[in-house]
Amino acid sequence: MIQPALFLGIDCGTQGTKALILDSQSGTVLGRGAALHSLISDASGRREQDPAQWLQACTTAIRQALQAAGVDGRNVLGIGVCAQQHGLVLLDDQGRVLRPAKLWCDTQSSAENQRLLDWLGGEQGSLERLGLAIAPGYTVSKLLWTQEQHPELFQRIARILLPHDYLNFWLTGRCASEYGDASGSGYFDVRRRDWDRALLAHIDPSGRLEQALPPLLEAHQPVGQILPEIARQLGINPAAQVASGGGDNMLGAIGTGNIQPGIITMSLGSSGTVYAYASQPLVSPEPALASFCSSSGGWLALICTMNLTNATTLVRELLGLDLATFNQRLAQAPIGAEGLCLLPFFNGERVPALPHAQGSLQGMTLDNLTQANLCRAVVEGTTFGLRYGLDLLRSAGLQSRNIRLIGGGSKSPLWRQVVADIMDTPVVCTREAEAAALGAAIQAAWCHGRQEQPDLALQQVCDRCVHLDPGSETRPRAEAVAAYEPVYERYRQHVATL
């Protein structure tokens, strides 16, 4: 009998933290756990979280996963961590968090981002220098905002970390960053695969920010061994190795097997993302298409919309509907919601690039303003944003025979059908819904396996551990594809007016 090889995958997102236990020998997920986060927000665009909440949620989710798996945590060989991208965690010289972390969806620093973009020479200058156009929400403008809004605190900065870097620091006591997550910071050149120190020196000529940068790791390199006191707290093997980890999209790519050309992953989470692996940096003239590094040794062409299940949840709670009733209403409305069009830009928007936009409801009449049409309109409006992004990927030459769909929205058969029809492409889910946490566990297994087998390929681990769910496969319907085209065009026209 083959002994199980247990690995822990952690995904710290905006709404909560998820953890799972993977047996990398059989490719089976043995147990899962989850804990919620709360958001600090206001009308100014502030979107922050207390990192201490992440640690508490991680502890809860890990203990739940171990209990659900029915395994002894002392047999866990490795840990992989992924987290929401672009967040800013600042530490002082004692390793203490200086203030709440500003998140990817924070738009308070939009003006600072524009000033930095102007200094870089606009979007074209940013593309030429960094390989991507910095956008509101990226980490770099948060640094300038902190300098201007909290100058005394700024002087105490000793470490600049991304959310997943901070969790790795909590686990190991070591500050490090990995190329994939680092490439979403806005102060990183995705082609040279290195920090842009001169950009940080422009913000602060003293060199403080450059000195606060963590060293960079390749995806297969470990951060280090778990700290003894944290191992005791979590009930984990004190010899467990913590892998490099990465951003949630990068590890979501691994968890869907998207580590070679020809696969497109679409995530229906708090935000919406569409991404595809590339073996070379794909620097597009279209600034909305970001060419990040992957957490598998290549690059990840990606678009991100800032409003997805956060928008559908807002409408559902406004109408006082549970999830089952929301889906019933969605099914009752026709394609196009009888002319009702919801632009779901409640938090501004990145794709299309409308950081200051607000949500709006277009085409209301005495007859069409119904619960069913409103539920249909928010699902269609958020999905049209992803269609806009998918068109950008396709125009850059990235194609796929199907779309691998992940995230909370992918659990809805109705939403899967809407995606298939709007994209005119078959969609299929992975058997494991928590693809980012799975990708983190797979990366940990790969990192651990390379100690004894230095040429171990990530593909070998993915082949064992990533499984598609044939029962979820949803094919586009020709009549629905045709019906959606004028509806999508109407959405594009409404967006153009903004």
Residues sharing a CB contact under 8 Å with residue 255, sequence separation 6 or more, in sequence order: 406, 430, 432, 434, 435, 436, 437, 438, 439, 440, 442, 466
Which of 42, 248, 463, 469 is the catalytic position?
Answer: 248
Query: Pairing relation of β-strands 47-49 and 40-41?
Result: antiparallel
Residue 1 — pLDDT band, cuts 50, 70, 90? low
Which tokens sit at 169?
């620091």
With a pLDDT cut of 70, the percent of the chain lying above it is 100
For residue 196, indicate whether it is catalytic. Answer: no
Which tokens sit at 54?
């992440």
User: What distance in Å separates the CA atoms of residue 60 and residue 391, rounded to the nearest whole number?
Assistant: 40
Q: Report which DSSP code applies to 29.
A: E
Look at residue 287 in the predicted model and tell me its pLDDT. 85
Residue 283 has pLDDT above 90, yes or no: no
pLDDT tens, position by position, 435-448: 999 999 999 999 99
Mean pLDDT of the chain: 95
Q: Report which DSSP code applies to 411.
A: G
Look at residue 4 in the predicted model and tell me its pLDDT. 84
Residue 344 — pLDDT band, cuts 50, 70, 90? very high
Look at residue 397 in the predicted model and tell me its pLDDT. 87
pLDDT tens, position by position, 13-29: 999 999 999 999 999 99
Q: What is the pTM of this model?
A: 0.93
Radius of gyration of the chain (CA): 22
Q: Which residues partner with 291 through β-bridges? A: 301
pLDDT tens, position by position, 226-281: 999 999 999 999 999 999 999 999 999 999 999 999 899 999 988 899 999 999 88
Fold of 6-247: Nucleotidyltransferase; domain 5 (3.30.420)
Which tokens sit at 180?
């994939």
Residue 382 — pLDDT band, cuts 50, 70, 90? very high
What distances in angstroms separate CA 19 from CA 65, 68, 413, 431, one per listed residue? 6, 11, 25, 16
Which tokens sit at 38?
């709360």
Show me where the domains of the chain are located: 6-247
